[in-house]
Amino acid sequence: MPYQIPVRVTPRSARPGIGGWRASTDGREELEVRVTEAPSDGAANAAVIRLLAVALGLSKSQLTLVAGHTGRHKRIAVPLEIVEVRRLLGGEEGGRP
């Protein structure tokens, strides 16, 4: 069953990368992702997809931005189970983001 990764993006970061899981304002966990690109013309969204694809060992076409096209908080659909996503990106294997 595909999983939707909740992501909080920091655009224009000095160093791109994937951080850890953090609690969002509503109490749910989301993955911190930093990109150097500005949030214009979809550049930051494309950078997030690239970073996650590499980290998960998937092609960019296997990831889909399903929510948050213009905001910092996004949901990215991946063809993996939550346990596999957590294993590859860090965090508790049985955790519930």
Confidence at residue 93, expressed as pLDDT on a 0 to 100 scale: 44
Statement: residue 55 has pLDDT above 50: yes
Q: Which region among 8-17, 45-54, 82-91 has the lowest average model confidence (pLDDT)?
A: 82-91
What does the pLDDT read at residue 27?
A: 86
Higher pLDDT, 91 or 63: 63
CATH architecture of the region 3-89 = 2-Layer Sandwich (3.30)
Residue type, 37: E
Which whole number is the average pLDDT over 83-92? Answer: 83
